[in-house]
Amino acid sequence: MQTYHLSVYVEGELENNLDWVMAFQEMKSVIDPIVKYINHKLVNNLSGLENLTYEIISVWLFNKIKPIVPLLTKIEIHETPTPQAVFEGK
């Protein structure tokens, strides 16, 4: 079983002088259900993840998160510090 590390990037105006673009808890509430959907499953059996690569996982996650978090700009996913995929979208 592989363990992946996910970094999610948002970009936008700072919210009401609070020094953040989006509250961490708000982002976590969006991302957690998506991660739980694929966590501890044979992801090759999930639609869109049949041919599993870092690149495909990053695009799949971006496409699931972006409709809920319009400020999303980039997804990074890696298993260790070196092999990773970065997907930047609009």
Q: What is the per-residue pLDDT across 12-30, written as a single tens digit (0 to 9) for each?
A: 888 777 778 888 888 899 9
Largest CA distance in the chain: 44
pLDDT for res 72? 93
Residue 84 has pLDDT above 70, yes or no: no
pTM of the predicted model, to two decimals? 0.79
Phi, then psi, of 74 in degrees rounded to 5: -155, 145
- Which contacts of 13-21 are long-range, i.e. CB under 8 A and separated by 24 or more positions? 21/71
Least confident piece of the model among 38-42, 61-65, 76-80, 83-87: 83-87
Cβ atoms of 11 and 21 within 8 Å: the answer is yes
Phi, then psi, of 76 in degrees rounded to 5: -120, 135
pLDDT for res 42? 74
Q: Which CATH architecture has domain 5-88?
A: 2-Layer Sandwich (3.30)
Q: What is the per-residue pLDDT across 26-73, written as a single tens digit (0 to 9) for each?
A: 889 999 999 888 887 777 777 778 877 888 888 999 999 999 999 999
Domain ranges of the chain: 5-88
Environment class of 56 (CB within 10 Å of its CB; exposed 0-12, middle 13-18, buried 19+): middle
